[in-house]
């Protein structure tokens, strides 16, 4: 199975992706909008990686501005959206995760490459 490469919008921060309502953690409106956008972009990859496959993911993050940001803040929302798209069965399939920061790009984006380990 070949490597799959795609570009996604920069995900909202975890503070904006989730909301705590009456003791329950829910995906916020901004988080749901991001997931919806990712699902639309990845619809052609639905069912691509079966649940028994072990995967690697390489991410290049193009920050939307020059503010300080933690790279590890990207994972949860991004992985959740990719999983929700149906491309993978579960984000626990990722055995190898690599991320690097690149230049600032207006609006931000993430370049993603997923392959089988």
Instruction: Tell me the pLDDT tens digit for each residue of 49-87.
Output: 999 999 999 999 999 999 999 999 899 999 999 999 999
Rg (CA), the chain: 14
pLDDT higher than 90, residue 7 = yes
The whole-chain average pLDDT of the chain stands at: 95
pLDDT higher than 90, residue 11 = yes
Average pLDDT for residues 88-108, to the nearest whole number?
97
pLDDT grade, residue 1 (50/70/90)?
A: low
Secondary structure class of 3 (helix, strand, coil): coil
The pLDDT, as a whole number, for residue 15 is 83
pLDDT higher than 90, residue 14 = no
pLDDT higher than 90, residue 38 = yes
**Angle between the N-to-C axes of helices 75-84 and 29-42, in degrees from 0 to 180, rounded to the nearest 10:** 50
> Domains in the chain, ordered, with CATH?
4-116 (3.30.1330.70)
* Dihedral, 87, 30, 59, 43 alpha carbons, nearest 10: 20
Distinct helix (H) and strand (E) counts, the chain: 3, 6
| 86: number of Cβ within 10 Å | 15
pTM given for the model: 0.92
pLDDT grade, residue 5 (50/70/90)?
A: very high
58 forms beta bridges with 98, 113
């Amino acid at each position: 199975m070949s490597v799959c490469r795609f570009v996604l919008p920069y995900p909202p921060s975890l503070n904006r992706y989730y909301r705590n309502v009456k003791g329950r953690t829910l995906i916020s409106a901004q988080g749901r909008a991001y997931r919806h956008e990712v699902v639309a972009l990845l619809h052609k990859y639905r069912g691509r990686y079966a649940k028994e496959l072990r995967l690697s993911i390489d991410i290049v993050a193009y920050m939307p501005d020059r503010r300080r940001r933690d790279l590890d803040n990207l994972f949860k929302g991004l992985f959740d959206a990719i999983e929700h798209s149906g491309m993978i069965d579960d984000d626990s399939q990722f055995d190898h995760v690599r991320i690097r920061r690149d230049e600032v790009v207006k609006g931000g984006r993430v370049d993603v490459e997923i392959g089988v380990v």
